Structure 1
Amino acid sequence: GKMRALSDITFNLHRGRALAVVGESGSGKSTIAKIIAKMYKLSAGRILYRGHDLEEFNKGTALLDYRQSVQMVWQDPFGSLNPTH
């Protein structure tokens, strides 16, 4: 059967702001990021970007504009959380 990776996720992110997704290992942080980056497809629900459903950005200029506006910054936890740095 299908495994549910995420359930009832809601957040709003406004221009000029950053979002940090934190949680224990296996909690779905990378899955959320990959869905927002359109690396994974949603099986249910929707994501709105500037009032438009993310599924509208499938190819061409709309997808290119989206990918230029929305990007992930992967963090190295050992380098960024190391108290000796």
Structure 2
Amino acid sequence: MNTVWPDGHGNMGGTEPFDMPSYYTLNAQLGYKYKGFDARFYFNNITDQIGLNSYFRGGFINQIDPRNIALSVSYNF
């Protein structure tokens, strides 16, 4: 008979504590370079999906980021 002991987070070895539903994300990126400047515009989670990600052994579940945008500008000398 094999005895299974919980790890430091209380998880029993070899078992999954929860089932995660599947999801998808649609992301896009637009970029432009001019001389030394580089600009990038990011569109993330365009369809505004609700999804969950987790760290199995750490035992936490986080919701993914909602629809968002970001801008990055850099200059090369």
TM over 0.5: no
Structure with the largest fraction of strand: 2
- TM bucket, shorter chain: under 0.3
Structure with the greater alpha carbon radius of gyration: 2
